[in-house]
């Protein structure tokens, strides 16, 4: 028994020893190489507006889904709308992915709204031959010496405090930011780096990624260390939605679409049955209203445009000897100039377009509405009233009333007691639903 027990214990010890030896013989699995990660690159070229907001917002969402190491906004802008700029800044501040704004390529600028976006970013970079600044807010109207512009002073103070708060959040030069707002100061890339306005100067995106590698940034989810040296760059281009949004939110095109919509509907109402002008007009007007509701519209200007069109229509129907027409053109021009309540670059309506639309509107309204008014004055060609003067044959008649066949149809008629069935009659006038007739003594066939 003892020998059997000893033999079993030996087998157990032998198996254990062989397992340990096998474990030492199998080499340990090598750790998987770290993923190079992804960097999402977005390009903003032009005025900052609703389309730019949509592009950046969806780009940052893509960066969050891909768990990107960094989101880069390559920026070249003369400025834009204050509301759109603030939306982009909010998205950057709330982004779980660090955001680097890169003013590039050489010759690019981050003026006005672009300066705020640069200050809000975790990394602020510029190409060597680029510039930033001139962040003073502007709006339609200029203050007169006698009447201080209180609203302009409020806008200036608000913009100054906003940029200073962004500078303090990112640890950048807040004093120069206030100069950019109050005195429209500007800086080159080298000067901006020297004054601690930006983080670095880079030749291109690849150089930017090399320089920011290893830096620590504070995001909405805490402090992160960037690892971008070998990251793969994913370019997020503007798709059809962003392009369409960019087109219909252009104030000049929105104004043209609105007028095209008014013309199409007016033509359809004046000449029912064409269908196509009504369809095109309705679609154009809806697109125009969609684009305008995303812009800083002055509703007094919009009301003046509609009032001007109404005056032009009334001029075609009423004999005012041009008074309503001149007033309509004046109201339309003033309304078009005041339509966009902002003087941001790229968001104004050029004066030549206002003049061209005023002339086209006057001509179109006079021609179309004039033709409609003329058609209303034309004698009718259909209906019971057209039977006056027509001849026919009396089918039956008794006690001053009966029926007659006139132009192939049977009509109830009234006439003198002496009329008899089979006689030729002529319609003298219409009385309610009956025709007043008399005996026709002329020769020849009845009038069709």
Asked if residue 91 has pLDDT above 60, the reply is yes
More confident call, 410 vs 42: 42
Range in 67-71, 167-171, 257-261 with the lowest mean pLDDT: 257-261
Average pLDDT over residues 235-248: 82
Asked if residue 249 has pLDDT above 90, the reply is no
Pairing of strands 38-45, 70-76: parallel
Asked if residue 213 has pLDDT above 80, the reply is yes
Using 50, 70 and 90 to split pLDDT, how confident is the model at 328?
Answer: confident
User: Residue 29 is inside which H or E element, if any?
Assistant: none
pLDDT in tens, 272-303: 777 888 898 899 888 888 888 878 888 888 88
pLDDT at 198: 95
Using 50, 70 and 90 to split pLDDT, how confident is the model at 22?
Answer: very low
- Inter-residue contact 129 to 116 (CB < 8 Å): no
pLDDT at 294: 79
Fold of 38-142+150-240: 2-enoyl-CoA Hydratase; Chain A, domain 1 (3.90.226)
Tell me the C-alpha distance between 126 and 112, whole Å.
15
Tell me the C-alpha distance between 85 and 82, whole Å.
5
Average pLDDT over residues 6-29: 39
pLDDT in tens, 134-151: 887 765 444 444 444 677
Average pLDDT over residues 225-243: 87
Pairing of strands 434-439, 38-45: unpaired
pLDDT at 358: 82
More confident call, 137 vs 368: 137
pLDDT at 374: 62
Tell me the C-alpha distance between 156 and 178, whole Å.
10
- Inter-residue contact 440 to 426 (CB < 8 Å): yes
434: left (phi over 0), alpha (psi -120 to 50) or beta: beta
pLDDT at 217: 92
Asked if residue 20 has pLDDT above 80, the reply is no
Tokens of 259: 């007028």
Q: How many of the other CB atoms lie within 10 Å of CB of 178?
A: 18
Q: How many of the other CB atoms lie within 10 Å of CB of 65?
A: 10
pLDDT at 144: 40
pLDDT at 372: 59
Pairing of strands 38-45, 391-398: unpaired
Asked if residue 128 has pLDDT above 90, the reply is yes
pLDDT at 371: 62
Range in 169-183, 261-275, 367-381, 403-417 with the lowest mean pLDDT: 367-381
Query: What single-letter DSSP state applies at residue 363?
Result: H
Q: Angle at the Cα of 441 (from 438 to 443), degrees rounded to 5?
A: 135
pTM score of the predicted model: 0.67
- Inter-residue contact 59 to 91 (CB < 8 Å): no
Using 50, 70 and 90 to split pLDDT, how confident is the model at 152?
Answer: confident
pLDDT at 275: 82
pLDDT at 110: 93
Tokens of 188: 């080159």
43 Cβ neighbours under 8 A, 6+ residues apart: 73, 74, 235, 237, 238
pLDDT in tens, 169-209: 999 999 999 999 988 899 999 999 999 999 999 999 999 99
CATH of domain 384-439: 2.40.50.140
Average pLDDT over residues 239-245: 79
Give the up-direction half-sphere exposure of residue 274: CA atoms within 13 A in the CB hemisphere: 15
Query: In the chain, what percentage of residues exceed pLDDT 70?
Result: 80
Q: How many of the other CB atoms lie within 10 Å of CB of 12?
A: 9
Tell me the C-alpha distance between 291 and 300, whole Å.
17
Range in 47-56, 112-121, 376-385, 426-435 with the lowest mean pLDDT: 376-385
Pairing of strands 434-439, 401-406: unpaired
Average pLDDT over residues 28-44: 65
pLDDT at 448: 40
Asked if residue 24 has pLDDT above 60, the reply is no
Q: How many of the other CB atoms lie within 10 Å of CB of 199?
A: 25
* Mean confidence (pLDDT) of the chain: 80
Average pLDDT over residues 323-328: 79
Q: How many of the other CB atoms lie within 10 Å of CB of 310?
A: 14
Pairing of strands 99-103, 123-126: parallel
Most confident of 128-132, 249-253, 419-423: 128-132
Specify the 3-state DSSP secondary structure of 43.
strand
Hey, where are the domains in the chain?
Answer: 38-142+150-240, 250-377, 384-439
Tokens of 142: 């200029």
19 Cβ neighbours under 8 A, 6+ residues apart: none
- Inter-residue contact 302 to 335 (CB < 8 Å): yes
Asked if residue 241 has pLDDT above 60, the reply is yes
Tell me the C-alpha distance between 116 and 79, whole Å.
10
């Amino acid at each position: 028994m003892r020998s059997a027990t000893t033999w079993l214990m030996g087998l157990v010890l032998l198996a254990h020893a062989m397992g340990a030896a096998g474990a030492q013989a199998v080499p340990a699995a090598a750790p998987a190489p770290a993923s190079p990660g992804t960097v999402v690159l977005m390009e903003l070229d032009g005025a900052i507006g609703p389309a730019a907001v949509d592009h950046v917002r969806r780009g940052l969402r893509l960066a969050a889904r891909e768990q990107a190491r960094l989101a880069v906004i390559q920026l070249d802008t003369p400025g834009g709308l204050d509301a759109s700029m603030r939306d982009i800044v909010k998205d950057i501040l709330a982004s779980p992915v660090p955001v680097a704004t890169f003013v590039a390529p050489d010759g690019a600028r981050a003026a006005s709204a672009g300066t705020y976006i640069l200050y809000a970013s975790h990394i602020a970079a510029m190409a060597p031959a680029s510039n930033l600044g001139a962040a003073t807010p502007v709006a339609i109207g200029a203050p007169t010496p006698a009447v201080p512009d209180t609203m302009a002073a409020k806008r200036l103070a608000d913009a100054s405090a906003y940029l200073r708060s962004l500078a303090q959040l990112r640890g950048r030069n807040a004093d120069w930011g206030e100069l950019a707002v109050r005195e429209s100061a500007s800086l080159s890339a080298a000067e901006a780096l020297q004054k601690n306005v930006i983080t670095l100067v880079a030749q291109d995106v690849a150089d930017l990624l090399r320089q920011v590698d290893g830096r620590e940034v504070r995001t909405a989810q805490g402090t992160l260390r960037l690892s971008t040296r070998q990251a793969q760059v994913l370019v997020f281009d503007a798709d059809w939605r962003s392009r369409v949004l960019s087109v219909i939110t252009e104030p000049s095109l929105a104004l043209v679409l609105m007028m095209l919509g008014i013309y199409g509907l007016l033509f359809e109402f004046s000449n029912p049955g064409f269908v196509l002008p009504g369809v095109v007009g309705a679609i154009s007007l809806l697109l125009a209203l969609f684009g305008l509701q995303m812009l800083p519209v002055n509703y007094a200007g919009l009301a003046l445009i509609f009032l001007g069109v109404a005056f032009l229509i009334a001029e075609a129907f009423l004999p005012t000897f041009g008074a309503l027409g001149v007033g309509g053109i004046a109201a339309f021009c003033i309304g078009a100039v005041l339509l966009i309540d902002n003087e941001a670059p790229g968001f104004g309506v050029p004066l030549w377009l206002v003049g061209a639309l005023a002339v086209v509107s006057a001509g179109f309204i006079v021609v179309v509405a004039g033709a409609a008014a003329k058609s209303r004055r034309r004698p009718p060609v259909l209906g019971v009233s057209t039977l006056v003067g027509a001849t026919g044959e009396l089918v039956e008649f008794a006690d001053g009333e009966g029926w007659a066949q006139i132009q192939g149809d049977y009509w109830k008629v009234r006439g003198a007691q002496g009329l008899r069935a089979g006689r030729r009659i002529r319609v003298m006038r219409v009385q309610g639903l009956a025709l007043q007739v008399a005996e026709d003594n002329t020769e020849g066939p009845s009038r069709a």
